[in-house]
């Protein structure tokens, strides 16, 4: 004998989980549909030169020549004396007064630098291939005159383990010098006037 079963709830009385209902739920979270790229006003960093010293005492100078290119000099540290022109970078504005500069070099080194100019704070992470940790002196030169040599060192390795150096830094000089000025970084650190990197503003 068949068991008596309760009649199923009529379709009209069942809760409706339609696409419209799901859409209404998402509508309560407008951030889910927000454009992920913030306004890219780079005027607060492009055309500026800044000198900064990491907590480990390494001192660097960066010139943001334009929105895609930097020049830099290393005044002290593991590869102090090295200088580079026309390094292609990815430069973005993350938020008000927060910029990120990232790049990969012919040596195989990768760098990510977050810059907060008004707060005079910087955080950089450098990813050195193993061959530079073993003998960084090979890179202490004007790199632009030795690009093929740097690539040959990179390809010969060893690459791993990567030597990761994450450090905070204090920006001691931040000045506008204009865009695409080849005279801003034109000589190596050793040729600069005494006290050049000690200037503050």
Active-site residue set: 60, 105
Is the Cβ–Cβ distance between 49 and 65 less than 8 Å?
Answer: no
What's the half-sphere exposure (Cβ side, CA atoms, 13 Å) at 183? 2
Distances (CA, A) of 2 to 5, 7, 77, 142: 9, 14, 87, 92
As a whole number of angstroms, the distance between CA 109 and CA 33 comes to: 36
In the three-class reduction of DSSP (H, G, I as helix; E, B as strand; rest coil), residue 70 is classed as strand
Beta bridge pairs of residue 53: 59, 170
């Amino acid at each position: 004998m068949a068991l008596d079963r309760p009649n199923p709830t009529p379709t009209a009385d069942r809760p409706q989980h339609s696409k419209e209902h799901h859409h209404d739920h998402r509508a309560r979270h407008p951030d889910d549909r927000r454009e992920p790229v913030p306004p890219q006003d780079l005027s607060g960093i492009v055309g500026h030169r800044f000198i900064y010293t990491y907590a480990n005492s390494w001192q660097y100078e960066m010139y943001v020549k334009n929105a895609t290119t930097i020049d830099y000099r290393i005044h002290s540290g593991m590869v102090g004396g090295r200088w580079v022109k026309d390094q292609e970078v990815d430069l973005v504005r993350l938020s008000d007064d927060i910029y990120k500069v990232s790049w990969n070099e012919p040596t195989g080194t990768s760098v990510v630098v977050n810059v907060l100019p008004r707060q005079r704070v910087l955080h950089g992470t450098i990813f050195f291939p193993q061959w530079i940790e073993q003998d960084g002196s090979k890179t202490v030169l004007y790199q632009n005159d030795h690009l093929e040599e740097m690539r040959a060192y990179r390809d010969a390795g060893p690459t791993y383990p990567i030597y990761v150096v994450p450090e905070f830094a204090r920006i001691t000089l931040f000045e506008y010098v204009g865009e695409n000025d080849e005279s801003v970084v034109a000589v190596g650190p050793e040729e600069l006037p005494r006290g050049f990197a000690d200037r503050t503003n």
